[in-house]
A and B are shown apart, each in its own frame.
Chain A
Amino acid sequence: NAGVTQTPKFRILKIGQSMTLQCTQDMNHNYMYWYRQDPGMGLKLIYYSVGAGITDKGEVPNGYNVSRSTTEDFPLRLELAAPSQTSVYFCASSYSTHSGNTIYFGEGSWLTVV
């Protein structure tokens, strides 16, 4: 009963480094999302995907890239990390946004850029 699995859970990056946050879901959901949540703030959508091979920008895509080669996986790539990218990152998935389809979140990845 894994649901949405994110790795790593914690990571410290130096300015200018790159890394990939991994996300996989075993619910056969079409839709996948990446959100970031700054301390005490709400959820901001970075990128989303409505199916394998399809990705689109959310509210705050700058500094990030994604790919969706399979239904299960939706990795988030940070290139040239900056302190402004210090945040908690949540991967999520759903069948769709239509009635009856809710979003399931992973447990989050805490990223600090120093």
Chain B
Amino acid sequence: GQQVMQIPQYQHVQEGEDFTTYCNSSTTLSNIQWYKQRPGGHPVFLIQLVKSGEVKKQKRLTFQFGEAKKNSSLHITATQTTDVGTYFCAGPRAQKLVFGQGTRLTINP
């Protein structure tokens, strides 16, 4: 079945450094979504990408959807302590949304 793999599993950075997490699917996706989960919190929707090669920005966050619609990335420029949390990508499969394992980001202030 469709799997969504996410790397790295963990990332620790100094505040101000950049951060990137990558998401790869075994099959072509109609869309991909990104969620953020703060420590002790619940996942919250960040963005959805639909088009091949699409790039979207939210302030310091840049999201990309690959040309083949099988991979995606989230890049954070100049991380801040408020960026701490786990970032999940998710792609639809039949009537479900399949989540990647998540990348846990910790930041040294």
**A residues lining the B interface (CB < 8 Å):** 31, 33, 40-43, 45, 48, 50, 56, 58, 90, 94, 96-100, 102-108
Flag if A107 contacts B42 (CB, 8 Å). yes
Residues of chain B within 8 A of A103, CB atoms compared: 33, 35, 43, 45, 90, 97
B58 contacts partner chain A, Cβ-Cβ < 8 Å = no
Flag if A43 contacts B92 (CB, 8 Å). no
A19 to chain B, nearest CB (A): 20
B44 contacts partner chain A, Cβ-Cβ < 8 Å = yes
Closest 8 CB pairs of A and B: A97-B92, A42-B101, A105-B42, A102-B45, A43-B99, A99-B31, A42-B102, A105-B43
- Which among B33, B50, B88 is the interface contact of A43 at CB below 8 angstroms? B88
Flag if B92 contacts A98 (CB, 8 Å). yes
Count class of interface residues, chain B: 20 to 34
A43 to chain B, nearest CB (A): 5
Nearest-neighbor residue (CB-CB) of A49 within chain B = B95
Flag if A48 contacts B48 (CB, 8 Å). no
B83 to chain A, nearest CB (A): 18
Flag if B95 contacts A50 (CB, 8 Å). yes
Flag if B101 contacts A105 (CB, 8 Å). no
Flag if B48 contacts A99 (CB, 8 Å). yes
A45 to B88, CA, bound (A): 14
Within 8 A of A (CB), among B36-67: 41-45, 48, 50
B104 contacts partner chain A, Cβ-Cβ < 8 Å = yes
Residues of chain A within 8 A of B30, CB atoms compared: 98-99
B46 to chain A, nearest CB (A): 9
Nearest-neighbor residue (CB-CB) of A96 within chain B = B95
Flag if A108 contacts B42 (CB, 8 Å). yes
Nearest-neighbor residue (CB-CB) of B99 within chain A = A43
Given A103-B45, A106-B42, do A97 and B97 touch, yes or no (CB 8 Å)?
yes
A90 to B101, CA, bound (A): 16
A43 to B90, CA, bound (A): 10
B32 to chain A, nearest CB (A): 10
Residues of chain A within 8 A of B48, CB atoms compared: 99-100, 102
What does the 1/0 interface line of B79-109 toward A look like (CB < 8 Å)?
A: 0000000001010111111011110100000
